[in-house]
Amino acid sequence: MRPLTQRDQRTIRYGGIAVGIYLVLFCVLHVWKFFEHKRSDYNDLVQQAHLLKDQIEPYQTKILVVQKLMKEYHLDAAKLSEATVVAQASAAIQDEAKADGVALGAIHESSAQSTGLELASIHIQGNGPVKGTLTLLDRLQRLGYPLIIDSVQVIPNNMQPGQVKFDLTIAVLDFEQWKKPEAAHA
Amino acid sequence: MKLPGEQFIKSSADRFMKAPAGRFINLHAERFIKSPAGQFIKERRYIVPAPVYIEMGVDTFRALQENEGLELPLERLNNGRLSDACRENLAVGLKAFLKREKWQLPARAICAIAGTGLSLRRLVLPPAPKSEWQRLLLLQIETEFPLSPDELAWGCRQLSEEPAHGAPVRQEFMVAAVRKEVLEDYSSALANCGVRPVFTLAALARSRFCPVPDEPYSILDLDSKHSEWIAFENNIPAVLRIFPWGTDNFAATEQTPDAAIEAIRSQPGRTLFLTGAGDRHELVAALARKLGDGINCRRVEAGEESGWSAGVFGVRQWAGMNGGVPSLTLRTKPKRIRGVPAKLQLSDPVLRQRALVATVLLIGFLVLPYAQALLLKPYVAHKVAAIQSQQGRLTTIDRELTFLQYLKENSPPYLDALYLFGTAAPPGTRLDSVTMNKHGEVSLSGSFGSFQQVVDFRTKLIQSGFFSTVSVDEQVPAQQKLNVRMTAVWKPVQARERLSIGPSAAEIAQATNGPASPKLSNH
């Protein structure tokens, strides 16, 4: 093998430098792409986190409203069972009437009406003092059950002065209807 | 003696202070020192310490930093360089004097060196563009000085005016040069003590301190065993000489000063400023006597405090003007002539330190976004996944809210309606039946005393704002009373929201204490 001339050595040196620079640039580019990809992923994640934040922020107010209403109606729908709510509500009404000094007469329970939002309807007749009747009317909706008084009829009890007869129709709401995703009742 | 005020503190609370060069530097820490009056006052320390002014004389080293001075004897070898013992003493003394903290940057020092072994020449460059001056100057130095420029530490000062439009004209420079080793000795000795020195000539510095006359003059500085004499013509140094006698051995070498006397007399300048004599009045008188009447011998003293000298105060005056750079600076590397571009010298430790900090900051700036992505991504991903897994709860909250709002909006206001009937009904009214449903339809039957009472009752119900319609369906007179059947419809919930119905707090209190007639309040 003939010895390398200075020109050959210089050419090899320059070639080596060029290859070295190429390799360095190649590696740097790949490393940079890797890190850039990571950074891009991170930015997407941060963007996603911001969107979630925007989505969640209004719920702070909503939670406060829900808490206030639950406290007002003493109602926690999550603890109620559809199978037993009518019986429990009926029992609670009778207990409350007894506590208010109101005597209940006939009680009729009927199944849901056509609207589909009611689980059952309770028809109650009773007799009691004005104050007790009004207290019962006030507290019926705060018994911890989804009750709405459909109609009220109050007439004086001519046989017993100071007392009134009343006739109530109470709807027990089907709270499960609100748990369905397609429900839009508001 | 109080030095001229050269620094001021903006306020005691400020963290910035103005240094002599006019730069604001950051206050870093404080410690207490005892003042001359015996009180403890805060000593302020800075990242950039106060500059140090140094005169490296033939026999004496003097330094001044702020108001503190230092004076140390120097011991030289036969070749004029400092002895090892002297350098060691100098390092110990100067370190103790500077009290530099580890976190402080090296103090900047303007060091005026004695003329021992120093050559002073006036060089004239042929007409050439400015970019050529550096090269021509090196050639001239090569020619005029016994050593090559590479072996010299040298500096120059441009004496002639620069051409107005850059046209090539002859340029005159004053060049001072000393063996490179001498300056490197000084430089390394000072650098070891945490000082970053800039070198100039002590003889030139003294001229800043003396009241310079318009005519030629000379300055004779007396050190302990040597004297340094410089003569100026047109404020340009003409001659610089070292005499082997000083304040300590002047009497012993009574004959020797004759050579100096002859040299001083031979100069055109008739004024001789005498510095460094201290309290040696008899020496000054003897010198003046020898010089004769033709020479006006004027004594200039900087003071008798340690470290105070005309050279030190001269460099301190330089620091206060011209950007703090002496007009002639000696360098071990080729000096850059003003206007001629030079390479950036990274050998300067401070410059290197700053370049390192800048590089680290730049790398940090570039790397931080990627490092953030790598380090924080797992944490953010975990958080996002946790939130997404809980998103089902949001639907539950929505449904519960909708349900509860439905319940609230569909709760009929039966008690409000009964309250309104109670407050609107005149005395003697009898209600036989009240029927209401959740749609707001109200049916009422009863008996009133007169037609007017019916009208009033109806009017009050309408004025309450609670009902949208109130109609009297039937009125039948019977036995001094009027049997009435009425119907009404209350307003929807949105319209009723603004109403305030029910007894006020005062009415409830009254009802609790005794009988009262409830009132209807309408907002």
Amino acid found at A78:
A
Residues of chain B contacting A42 with CB distance shorter than 8 Å: 372-373, 376-377, 380
Residue type, B390: Q
Q: How far apart are CA A94 and CA B233, in angstroms?
A: 125
- Chain A with chain B: Cβ pairs closer than 8 A: 126
How near does any CA of chain A get to the CA of B366, in Å?
12
Does the distance separating the beta carbons of B435 and A66 come in below 8 Å? no
Q: B432, A156 in Cβ contact below 8 A?
A: yes
- CB of A92 less than 8 A from some CB of B: no
Which of B506, B509, B518 has its CA nearest to residue B415? Answer: B518
pLDDT digits (tens, 9 = 90+) for B201-230: 888 888 888 887 888 888 888 888 888 888
pLDDT tens for B275-291 read: 887 777 777 788 788 87
Of A46, A70, A149, the CB nearest to B414: A149
Q: Is B303 in contact with B53 (CB distance < 8 Å)?
A: no
B171 forms beta bridges with B125
Q: Which of A43, A125, A154 is the best mutation test for B, with the most CBs of B within 10 A? A: A154
Closest CA of chain A from B411, distance in Å: 6
Residue of B375, B383, B404, B490 to mutate, interface with A, max A Cβ within 10 Å: B404
Judge: A45–B408 Cβ closer than 8 Å, yes or no. Answer: no
Instruction: Return all residues near B113 (Cβ < 8 A) that are at least 6 apart.
Output: B56, B178, B182, B183, B186, B199, B200, B201, B202, B330
From chain A, the residues in CB contact with B438 under 8 A are 148-151
- Those residues with Cβ within 8 angstroms of residue B173's Cβ, 6 or more apart along the chain or in another chain: B122, B123, B124, B125, B137, B156, B157, B158, B159
**Chain B residues inside the 8 Å CB shell of A75:** 404, 407
Read off the pTM.
0.48
Q: Where in A19-111 does DSSP place strands (E)?
A: 103-111
The more confidently predicted of residues B494 and A103 is: A103
Instruction: For A81, list phi and psi in degrees, rounded to 5.
Output: -115, 135
Q: Which residue has the tokens 């907002």?
A: B523
- Percentages helix, strand, coil for chain A (3-state, rounded to 5) are 55, 25, 20
Query: Backbone dihedral region of B262: left (phi > 0), alpha (psi from -120 to 50 degrees) or beta?
Result: alpha
Query: For residues B125 and A125, what is the distance between their CA atoms, to the nearest angstrom?
Result: 127
C-alpha distances in Å from residue B306, one per residue of A128, B63, B278, B453: 113, 9, 12, 116
Q: What is the pLDDT of residues A35-52, one digit of tens each?
A: 999 999 999 999 999 999
Q: Which amino acid, B315?
A: V
At residue B34, the pLDDT reads 54
Cβ-contact B77, B83 below 8 angstroms: yes
Task: Identify the H or E element spanning B455.
Answer: helix B451-463
Task: Indicate the residue type of B446.
Answer: G
B136 and chain A: CB distance < 8 Å anywhere?
no
B455 vs chain A: nearest CA distance in angstroms? 23
B473 or A180, higher pLDDT: B473
The average pLDDT across A149-167 equals 89
Cβ within 8 Å, pair A56-B387? yes
Question: Is the Cβ–Cβ distance between B516 and B507 less than 8 Å?
Answer: yes
CA gap B63, B69 in Å, rounded? 6
| Residue B464, min C-alpha distance to chain A (Å) | 21
Residue A51 touches partner B, C-beta closer than 8 Å: no
Helix B349-389, helix A6-73: angle, nearest 10: 40
**Top-confidence residue, B92 or A19:** A19
How many Å is the Cα radius of gyration of chain B? Answer: 50
Stated as kind and residue range, the H or E segment containing B108 is strand B107-113
Residues of A in contact with B436 (CB under 8 A): 151-153
Q: Please measure the distance between the N-terminal and C-terminal CA atoms of chain B and give it in whole angstroms.
A: 86
Q: Considering only CA atoms, which of B417, B207, B223 is closest in space to residue A149?
A: B417
Per-residue model confidence (pLDDT) at position B39: 61
Cβ contact (<8 Å) for A62 and B381? no
Q: Which residue of A has its CA nearest to B374?
A: A38
**Per-residue confidence band for A26, with pLDDT thresholds at 50, 70 and 90:** very high
Q: Write the CB contacts of B164 (distance below 8 Å, at least 6 apart in sequence).
A: none
Residues of chain B whose pLDDT is less than 50?
A: 1-31, 340, 515-523
Answer whether B399 touches A (CB < 8 Å).
yes
Confirm or reject contact between B377 and chain A (CB < 8 A): yes
pLDDT at position B164, please?
65
Confidence of residue A16 (pLDDT cuts 50, 70, 90): very high
